[in-house]
Chain A
Amino acid sequence: MWGNLTMKQILLITDGCSNKGADPVQAAMFARRLGITVNVIGILDGGDLGSAGRQEVTEIAQAGGGLSRIVEARQLAMTMQMLTKHTVQMTIQQVVNKELRGLLGTDAEGLPPEKRSEVAEMVDRLGDEAQMRLVLVIDTSASMHDKLPAVREAIRDLQIGLQVRKGGHLLAILTYPGAPGMETQVITDFTAKPDLAGLMNSLQASGGTPTGPAIEKATRMLSQELLGEPRDSKDRRDEGGPMNAYVV
């Protein structure tokens, strides 16, 4: 059953506050109900998100059952890796804890530290073997201009990290706002090796910051990917049964 474990994550990267469309906190809450974790990174880089921006970053992550960090652009790569990996482990830990409570009446933290490390090793291994479905949701409003090279490098680095996992992964990239008149734009649909060339051209001078609609779009992409007809993809490995046979 663990082989079919699929992790669904949205990673939102922004440098400001949403100002258009649906409420991003509500959107994140909805995603969470579908078993999707929403992580948020706020990029500072010289400027400041402002207190409203900071608050929104924290609230979206909380509503989405994920984590949030506010960092400088140079810390982006490491933060993305850390959040992605940590949420996978958190999700597995929750499942393991439920099993432990059923068996022993306590979760991992209630075990003596020596015993706990055995559980931690198991969680670590399962996290490495789990299937990953990740949508990167990237704010490409005008103020992101200077940060996009760092974002691209960080995505490249994330890919390097994902490639060495035992479990398969599919990554999609969504930017917002989209082309004039559009709220979002899918730069690459789910693939193991996204092409990052499109990202650098996706900067939009106008169109506001529709963070909520972007999260909603990412949620739709993830639920379609998981519930729809399994598409042909050579990136998908060892998935004998229906791929959503065991979805956490």
Chain B
Amino acid sequence: MSSSLLRTGQTVAGLWHKRCYLVESQVGSGAVGEVYRVQGPDGKTYALKISLQSSEIALEHRTLQRIQGVARGVNLGPLVYDVDDVATPHGKAFFYVMEWVRGRDLPSFLQLRGRHWTPVLLLQLCNCLELLHAEGRCFGDLKVENCLVDESEGRLRLVDFGGVTPFGRGVKEYTEWYDRAWWGQGTRAADPGYDLFALTMLTVQLIAPELRAQATAAGTPNFAKVAKHVLQEPAYAHWRPLLQGVWSGRITETSHFRQMLTPLLRKSVEAEKRRRRPASSRRRDWTDWLLFGSAALLVLVFCQFFILG
């Protein structure tokens, strides 16, 4: 997969539905295909995923279509608009067109807005996972890179649904650091616990990013080392019951994880308040709190919905 399938400035014309997309830039490439930012026939920006493997594109498109609209008022995955074929110099290629999800990546969002956002973002992630799990599917390739935060609403979105796998099957796409089986902590079968494990590794990474480099330097997984670090590092103090709960097998459901997060949310808000009082020279102002409040409210209202529904 050395050369790209599409060029910037090129127009992609679908063979079946005859819709045209102007390629603006390539935004990524993975094991299965490449993702481009394109302009649709209506002048709006979309994301286009293209691959030479028709089955992968077809399966992913179908997954996204399935989960579209299952969540009341919440777009779980990117909305999909079109699926088609196109002729390229490498042969016939297959693509689907989805919503262009705008957002900032988690590490830079946390740096900009403050660490106290961590539990809020994780709560939102829990909500997404719970909806997906209710559909009998596991997200699979849950990682920092697959999350974006919409800055205007403080809302977290999942991108790249290539790893979504029905429960009971082998997880389709995964990344070592987040992979329960790689760490020897269970199977690679899709179940709610698989995503929860990935969620704990994501939490570990968000709180102390340097641990990942240390723990994987040897090339071979050593989970005891990660667990020990979490036990010793003061930054994890509040998080230990949650992380160890999942690792010891006490927490197996996303709803349980979410419940354990709620007190952390309060704690981190209090800690942030204390920290901010003496030094008010920070760039953050009341708009931060407004955004934070609205995001927290959104999460709580949503939880309510989910429990009642």
Contact = CB atoms under 8 A, between A and B. Distances in A.
A165 interface: yes
Contacts of A149: 219-220
Name the prevailing secondary structure of the A interface residues.
helix
A165 B53 CA distance: 21
B188 A164 contact: yes
Give the size range of B's interface with the partner. Answer: 20 to 34
Nearest to B56: A120
A164 B189 CA distance: 6
Interface in B56-105: 58-59, 61-62, 83-85, 92, 94
Given A113-B16, A114-B83, A160-B181, A128 B58 contact: no
Contacts of B249: none
Given A120-B58, A153-B220, A128 B170 contact: yes
Given A157-B182, A161-B170, A164-B188, A116 B58 contact: yes
B55 interface: yes
Contacts of B188: 160-161, 163-164
A108 B170 contact: no
B31 interface: yes
Name the prevailing secondary structure of the B interface residues.
mixed
B83 A113 contact: yes
Contacts of B94: 113
Contact of B55 (A112, A120, A161, A166): A120
B59 A108 contact: no
A112 B15 CA distance: 10
B59 A117 contact: yes
Contact of A116 (B54, B187, B189, B219): B54
B267 interface: no
Contacts, number: 63
Nearest to B220: A153
A93 B55 CA distance: 9
A86 interface: yes
Given A86-B53, A153-B220, A120 B84 contact: no
A228 B154 CA distance: 64
B284 interface: no
A73 to B, nearest CB: 9
A127 to B, nearest CB: 9
Contacts of B61: 113, 117
B16 A164 contact: no
A89 interface: yes
Given A117-B61, A161-B188, A164-B169, A124 B31 contact: no
A93 B94 CA distance: 16
Nearest to B92: A109
Nearest to B17: A113
Contacts of B59: 117, 120-121, 124
B181 to A, nearest CB: 4
A218 B170 CA distance: 27
B137 to A, nearest CB: 13
B58 A113 contact: yes
A37 B182 CA distance: 28
Contacts of A164: 169-171, 187-189
22 contacts: A74-B219, A86-B53, A89-B55, A109-B54, A109-B85, A113-B84, A117-B58, A117-B59, A117-B62, A119-B58, A121-B58, A123-B55, A124-B55, A124-B59, A153-B219, A157-B182, A160-B181, A160-B187, A160-B188, A163-B187, A163-B188, A164-B188
Interface of B: 16, 31, 53-55, 58-59, 61-62, 83-85, 92, 94, 169-171, 181-182, 187-189, 219-220
- By Cβ-Cβ distance, the 10 closest A-B pairs, closest first, are A164-B170, A117-B58, A120-B58, A120-B55, A117-B62, A164-B189, A113-B83, A160-B181, A116-B58, A120-B59
Given A109-B85, A128-B169, A163-B187, 17 more contacts: A74-B219, A86-B53, A89-B55, A93-B55, A109-B54, A112-B16, A113-B58, A114-B83, A117-B83, A120-B62, A123-B55, A160-B181, A160-B182, A161-B188, A164-B171, A164-B188, A166-B169
